[in-house]
Amino acid sequence: MIDIGFGLGGLLLLLVMLFGLSVRVLREYERGVVFQLGRFWAVKGPGLILLIPVLQQMVRVDLRTVVHDVPKQDVISRDNVSVKVNAVLYFRVIDPERAIIQVANFMEATSQLAQTTLRSVLGKHELDEMLAERERLNIAIQQVLDAQTDAWGIKVANVEIKHVDLDESMVRAIARQAEAERERRAKVIHAQGELQASEKLTQAAQVLAAQPGAMQLRYMQTLSSIAGDKTATIVFPLPLDMLGGLIERPRG
């Protein structure tokens, strides 16, 4: 009887162990890539998964978006400026089968590919574009990465350039360039103002020349404004056309 009891206990223990080896529970965001005798068999999940012990093995794959920080990369721009650039990469697995079978470690492979792509894409652009057109460069890097990781079942959703670090000498050079640009714009605006003022003065002179009465009225307004100043003596010229009537008086 004791031997039978030990035998049933051992059998029950064996069944429990086999059940524990054969049962898997996958969350909503997980999938299981199942291999049977080394060959791909199926993608399972989410929920309760039953495996045949020894004959079948399963690899878990997380389908959630991964936020990966791409470390700083030394980039030489097209105008031969050395900068350090880092970025953030957003990607996720859309095909668990290819993500496990086509590449040994899709996380590491995507990270390394992001680093090389960041250097190669930014190296084709000048420094001014890196600083002012990040949105366009983000899209360009994302498209290149997405095309290359598609064979691995990876979808690159977004790439964001975080920082573009310059050395002190380059920062000072950019500051001098910005100051020179501001001075140039100020001179252009001043010259445009002088041109517009000269055009208006020319038009005013033409109008006054066509109307002698308007010229005299303007002259009187000028005298009135001068008389308002606190001066002891005012010396002003008298236009000859106003003396014309006195010079040409009829003789008695």
What mean pLDDT comes out for the span 39-58?
90
Q: How far apart are CA 46 and CA 65, in angstroms?
A: 17
- 3-16 pLDDT tens trace: 565 566 666 776 66
pLDDT at residue number 219: 62
pLDDT at residue number 230: 61
Reported confidence tier of residue 236, pLDDT bands at 50, 70, 90: low
pLDDT, the chain, mean: 81
**CB neighbours (10 Å) of residue 122?**
25
* Residue of higher predicted confidence among 178 and 250: 178
pLDDT at residue number 106: 93
Could you please report the per-residue DSSP string of 39-95?
A: EEEEEE-SEEEE--TTTEEEEEEE-SPEEEEEEEEEEE-TTS-EEEEEEEEEEEES-
pLDDT at residue 197 tops 50? yes
Strand 56-62 with 47-50, pairing = unpaired
- 148-194 pLDDT tens trace: 999 999 999 999 999 888 877 665 666 666 677 777 888 888 888 88
pTM to 2 decimals? Answer: 0.65
What mean pLDDT comes out for the span 77-90?
90
The CATH 3.30.479.30 domain(s) of the chain lie at 66-166
Cβ-in-10-Å burial (0-12, 13-18, 19+) of 26 comes to middle
Protein fold of 66-166: Tetrahydropterin Synthase; Chain A (3.30.479)
* Residue of higher predicted confidence among 54 and 6: 54
